[in-house]
Structure 1
Amino acid sequence: MAGFLMMAACDRSVVYNHYEHVDNEGWERTDTMHFYVPPIKQTGTYHQQLMLRTNNQLPFLGISVIVEQDIYPVGRKLRKRIDCKLVEQNGHVMGSGISCYQYTFDVDSLQLNEGDSLHMYVMHYMKQENMKGISDVGILISQ
């Protein structure tokens, strides 16, 4: 079964993979990360993932993030809250890495047409204004 899942994961073709760096002082609530996905070349279902890179300064077991999308040329808007569990209650880090950790979270599957493009916005949705410990925020889209 694990082999089948690995083959299925490798079979996807990546159409967009980009990170935005977070300021060393922390990710302010007003700091929105922008991602511009160029026009899609083929109609189909696309799998979207949010990627985070953290260091040991993050004071929480998880973080809530809002992902907003504008789909052009149809003008459709989507908004989704992603609750990202980063550390288990026992302190076990769920990401991969040693002192810096990388995480991937599913956002959505989306039907796109040839020529559609996306403008994606990502912002944290935490009560604390400044989130130290997040070093990069990324978006991965594959078919």
Structure 2
Amino acid sequence: MKSLLKNSLFCLLAACFATACYDKNTVYHSYQSLPNEGWGKSDTLSFLIPVTDSIPPTLRLFTEVRNRTDYPYHDLHLFISQNMPDSTVWHTDTIAVNLADSTGRWIGKGWGSVYQAETFVKSVRPLRPGNYIIKVMSGMKDEKLPGMNDIGIRIEKQHTKSQD
């Protein structure tokens, strides 16, 4: 019960902090919580991304991971499928998110039993405004992956030389 209260308090504080630090270049930022008993190998997380600009800019896609200290590995492999350049064509990338160094020390931000790490995935340029989907699946061998709290997607407008 204390762990649940601690995790809930952490998520509430993180949400308040994220709202206070909102960046005008961020066009989408969302997390999905995972079950305490583990993230199932066949469980797919889906994020609906609305792109409203009449001429969409190039976007930078990041994945964010919140893990607990009972996560048994140093990294996390993810399959990220997205249809952002063209809503009819799906692209899948396999990425590795480093969560701990070689000694087992967590390298993400956080305190207590929850840590957060992020990884740049790729830059994409939607062809037109619309609703796009990003799907995230675990690329790990475990049928139920323990120690994961949340998986998030953040999308930012990519800076160009003229904006600097």
Bin the TM-score by the shorter chain.
0.7 to 0.9
Q: CA RMSD in A?
A: 1.8
Q: Which has the higher helix share?
A: 2
Q: Which has the higher contact order (CA 8 A, sep 6+)?
A: 1
- Paired AA for residue 31 in structure 1: D
Identity score, percent:
27
Deviations 1:67-95 (A, max 9, x none): 00123864121110011111111122110
Stretches of 4+ moved more than 3 A in 1? Answer: 71-74
- Paired AA for residue 26 in structure 2: V
Contact 1:19–1:138 (8 Å) recurs in 2: yes
CA–CA distance in 2 between the matches of 1:18 and 1:31?
17
CA–CA distance in 2 between the matches of 1:73 and 1:88?
37
Gaps of 5+ in 1: 1-9
Is 1:43 aligned to 2:59, yes or no?
no
Aligned residues: 134
Counterpart mapping for 1:18-33 below 5 A: 18-33=30-45
TM-score using structure 1 length: 0.86
TM-score using structure 2 length: 0.76
Residue 60 of structure 1 corresponds to 73
- Higher mean alpha-carbon deviation, 105-114 vs 130-139, is at 105-114
Counterpart mapping for 1:1-143 below 5 A: 13-41=25-53, 42-71=55-84, 74-98=87-111, 99-143=113-157
Gaps of 5+ in 2: 1-21, 158-164
Q: Which has the higher strand share?
A: 1
